[in-house]
Amino acid sequence: MYRRIQTSMTLLVVCLGVMPAIVMPAMAQTPGQFYTGKQINFIIGYPAGSGYDIYGRLLASHLGGHIPGQPTIVPQNMPAAGSLGATNYIYTRAPRDGTVIGAINRSVPLAPLLQTVAAGSINFDPLKFTWLGSMSKEFTIGFVWSASGVNSFDDLRKHEVTTGTAAVTADGFVFPNMMNRMLGTKLKIILGYPGTKEVYLAVERGELDGYFGGTLSSLLGSYPGWITDGKIKILVQIALEKAPQLPDVPLLSDFVRSDAERQALKLVLSPQLMGRPYLAPPDLPEDRAQALRAAFDATMKDPSFLADASKLSVDVSPMSGAEIVQLLKDIYATPQDVVALARDALKTPDDAKAQ
């Protein structure tokens, strides 16, 4: 009996001795412990030099200092199909541990709802991403080179005007295509330009008449003299409200013909409220997701970040990750008749012929 008790006691001591070795590795790391010495890959869905790239690299240069553990953030450009490729990659293939974040086109999250691309090209649920926030509200504009001979929005209904963009998911296709179908303009959309920078160069060379999908902030950041020197004419603001710098340029909604069209237009333009969105894959550990969101919010208030943004003529009017989630929930709750009208206005020319 004594030997049995002694053996049992020995086993108990041994078990108690190894328990810390078993339990400690299973204990969750804090965000600071996890990120110390780590690298975060920042996937930017557009090429170097584009508006999304300028904003993204500015964010990358400051965000790491506000994340516990201060990881290194490395921007990586992944330009494909107006950032649809980057969106699919972040959702389906990127590690879900907080070591990958991304910058995507503001309109891509609406692609499943508005069916702007083939269903097989969409491998994500926008409501399941970990949304970090948006750096600014955006004001998309439509402009032509002054030498083009186009002087007003009404001229777009009379003459063929060429514009360019990356892909059918990009604003540079979505908006002019919608204008053609809903408002009777005659914009000829040339696909295949990698990003906004290349479109601007094509306009400057006379290869394109203008651009109907770029933002005012991007233009001011890349070619601030185009407006002041009279090289371009801004014909319309493709936005929910006017930019403070353009009080006399009409909104696209000024040209709609019915309240139903106005509601459909509001749905299509609603992503501009989250003009420069940043996200991470779904299913991140909650404490890391909170740490990334808090770091984004802190960065938006960082004096050194704001000073650098001012030097680059980058607007900072942020939206939090929680606000983006609520915006998307509201968008996806839009009445089906409005969604149907918006879908019809966004059909590509091939889709329209197939009906």
Q: For position 302, which CATH number holds?
A: 3.40.190.150
Q: Give φ, ψ of 104 to 5 degrees.
A: -130, 165
Phi, psi (5° rounding) for residue 228?
A: -65, -30
Are 339 and 267 a contacting pair, CB within 8 Å? yes
- 261 & 175 share domain: yes
Residue-level pLDDT at 168: 79
Q: What is the dihedral of CA 22, 23, 26, 30, to 10 degrees?
A: -140
Residue bearing the bigger pLDDT, 289 or 219: 289
Q: What local confidence, expressed as pLDDT, does residue 349 receive?
A: 75
Is 155 found in the same domain as 115? no
Here the CATH number for the domain that contains residue 227 is 3.40.190.10
One domain for residues 91 and 239? no
The reply to whether 191 and 304 lie within a common domain is: no
Work out the pLDDT band at 176, boundaries 50, 70, 90.
very high
Same domain (yes/no): 168, 202: yes
Q: Is the pLDDT of residue 256 over 80?
A: yes
Same domain, 104 and 178: no
Residue 36: which pLDDT band, with cuts at 50, 70 and 90?
very high
Any domain includes 205: yes
What mean pLDDT comes out for the span 125-136?
96
In-domain check, residue 2: no
Please tell me the predicted confidence (pLDDT) of residue 238. 94
Structural domain span for residue 264? 140-271
CB 216 within 8 A of CB 143: no
- Give the sign of the dihedral formed by CA 102, CA 107, CA 111, CA 117: negative
Report which of residues 70 and 111 the model is more confident about: 70
Residue 351 lies in a domain: no
Domain identity same for 91 and 121: yes
Question: Is residue 29, in this structure, part of any structural domain at all?
Answer: no
23-27, 124-128, 162-166: range with lowest mean pLDDT: 23-27
Give the mean pLDDT of the chain: 88
pTM for this one?
0.76
Q: Which among 271, 292, 316 is the end of a domain?
A: 271
Please check the confidence at residue 24 and state whether its pLDDT lies above 80: no
Q: Which of 47-56, 324-333, 343-352 has the lowest mean pLDDT?
A: 343-352
Please check whether residues 267 and 189 belong to one and the same domain: yes
Closest CA to 269 of 217, 321, 346: 346
Is residue 68 a part of any domain in this protein?
A: yes
Q: Report DSSP letters for 271-323, one per residue.
A: GGGG-SEEEE-SS--HHHHHHHHHHHHHHTT-HHHHHHHHHTT-----EEHHH
Same-domain pairing of 182 and 106: no
Check pLDDT > 80 for residue 179: yes
Provide the pLDDT for residue 12: 41
Q: Would you state the structure tokens that stand for residue 260, as one six-digit string? A: 């139903």
| pLDDT over 90 (residue 65) | yes
Let me know whether 162 and 309 are in one domain.
no
Domain boundary among 250, 271, 292: 271
Partners of residue 226 on adjacent β-strands: none
Q: What is the pLDDT of residue 21?
A: 41
Residue 62: HSE in the Cβ half-sphere, 13 Å Cα cutoff: 20
Cα dihedral 308, 310, 311, 313, rounded to 10, equals 130
Lowest-confidence region among 175-189, 215-229, 283-297? 215-229
Query: Domain end: 271, 294, 311, which one?
Result: 271
Cα–Cα distance measured from residue 355 to residue 340, given in angstroms and rounded to the nearest whole number: 14
Report pLDDT for 27: 57
Residue 70: both structure tokens together: 């201060």
Give the best-scoring range by mean pLDDT among 3-7, 17-21, 153-157, 163-167: 153-157
Q: How many domains does the chain have?
A: 2
Q: Among 194, 191, 125, 112, which Cα is nearest to 349's? A: 191
**Predicted confidence band of residue 350 (pLDDT cuts 50, 70, 90):** low
Is 131 a domain residue? yes
- 114 and 159 in a single domain? The answer is no
Residue 133: inside a domain, yes or no? yes
**Is residue 12 assigned to a domain?**
no
Kindly list the distances between the CA atom of residue 224 and the CA atoms of 177, 217, 269, 270, 341, in Å, as whole numbers in the listed order.
Answer: 27, 9, 25, 26, 37
φ/ψ bin of 103: left (φ > 0), alpha (ψ from -120 to 50), beta (otherwise): beta
How confident is the model over 174-198, as a mean pLDDT?
92
What is the gyration radius of the CA atoms in the chain, in angstroms? 25
Asked whether 213 and 173 are in contact (CB, 8 A), the reply is yes
Taking residues 31-54, what's their average pLDDT? 94
Q: Judge if 190 and 239 occupy the same domain.
A: yes
Tell me: pLDDT of 18 over 60. no
pLDDT of 115: 85
What does residue 54 show for φ and ψ, rounded to 5 degrees?
A: -60, -45
